[in-house]
Structure 1
Amino acid sequence: FFEDFSRNLVNDFKPNLIKTDIHETDNEYIVEAELPGIPKEDIQVNYENGVLTISGQRQIDAATEDKKGKLIRNERSLTSVRRQYLLENVKEDEIKASYSDGILKVTLPKDSNKEIKTSIPIE
């Protein structure tokens, strides 16, 4: 009994992570995030202080009625997901996002005018 209970408990509390691929080219970052089943209007994309934030939520209402129309079961669930990514030196006013077939694609053009330090002198 306890073995099955603990197995179910652990499986039910897996974190809701957004599976993401991040590609970097010479000119831009391309972020592809899986958000299956989440309507486009329930997805938020923000970029502030070098951090890209992707969040979304999906609400499910399921009701089952018997032949007489009495409610015999009603289930609701709300799933929220959120992830943040540090992507600095981006042209904030040129970021673009699209959503198709459960995949959110965010393109962040790099800002070549911003100085990138690769080494830090030691005093």
Structure 2
Amino acid sequence: MLNKIQHRNLNTYSVTPFDFFEEFSRNLFNDFKPNFIKTDIHETDNEYLVEAELPGIPKENIQVTYENGVLTISGQQQIDAVNEDKKGKLIRSERSLTSVQRQYLLENVKEDEIKASYSDGVLKVTLPKDSNKEIKKSISIE
């Protein structure tokens, strides 16, 4: 009798053996998945070019700030997953919100001339160098 009830519930909710492993792996590995922005930083005599991968994050959910010599890139991605059976009855609805942030120390920059663009999941930030800023400061010893 118990097997018939379980079998009927499996058919009603369209549960497969793979659903168990999907749920198990999602719970196990989501906690260890790195929320890390992969970045390339190029330096020339005149500027820094930062290329940061933010795939799947909409442009409006990305923030770029520069303060006290630190460039900060952050973003959020929300994923909504909805599964319905053939009759349209909701049987599972899941949501996840992922936030990422990285900071980079890039000093001697012309703050008013920083430019950023976003295309195909890659954020490009150009930071022109300020040659007038003093790189080293001598401190006299008393």
Q: TM-score, normalised to structure 1's length?
A: 0.86
Q: Which of these residues, 52, 59, 62, is aligned with residue 40 of structure 1? A: 59
In the alignment, does 2:129 pair up with 1:110?
A: yes
Deviations 1:12-62 (A, max 9, x none): 413311000000000000000000000000000000000000000100111
Hey, what does 2:69 align to over in structure 1?
A: 50
Q: Which has the higher helix share?
A: 2
Moved over 2 A (4+): 8-12, 119-123
The 2-side partners of 1:65 and 1:9 are apart by: 25
Closer/same/farther in 2, CA of residues 11 and 122 from structure 1, 3 Å limit: farther
Find 2:108's aligned residue among 89, 92, 98: 89
Query: CA 1:41–1:72 in structure 2 vs 1: closer, same or farther (change >3 Å)?
Result: same
- Out of 30, 36, 39, the residue aligned to residue 20 of structure 1 is 39
Shift of 1:10: 6.3
Residues 1:72 and 2:100 aligned together:
no
Larger radius of gyration: 2
Q: Show structure 2 runs of 5+ residues with no match.
A: 1-23
| Long gaps (5+) in structure 1 | none
- Greater relative contact order (Cα < 8 A, sep 6+): 1
Q: For residue 107 of structure 1, report the CA deviation from its aligned partner.
A: 0.1
Quote the sequence identity (%). Answer: 86
More strand by share: 1
- 68-77 vs 83-92, greater mean Cα deviation: 68-77
Compare 81-90 and 12-21 and name the one that shifted more: 12-21
Q: For 1:16, what is the secondary structure of its paired residue?
A: coil
> CA RMSD of the aligned region, Å?
2.0
User: Kindly tell me: are residues 14 and 61 of structure 1, through their superposed partners in 2, closer, same or farther at Cα, counting changes over 3 Å?
Assistant: closer
Aligned length: 116
In 2: Cα distance, 1:27 partner to 1:53 partner: 21
Q: Which residue of 1 aligns with 2:21?
A: none
**Aligned amino acid, residue 51 of structure 2:** E
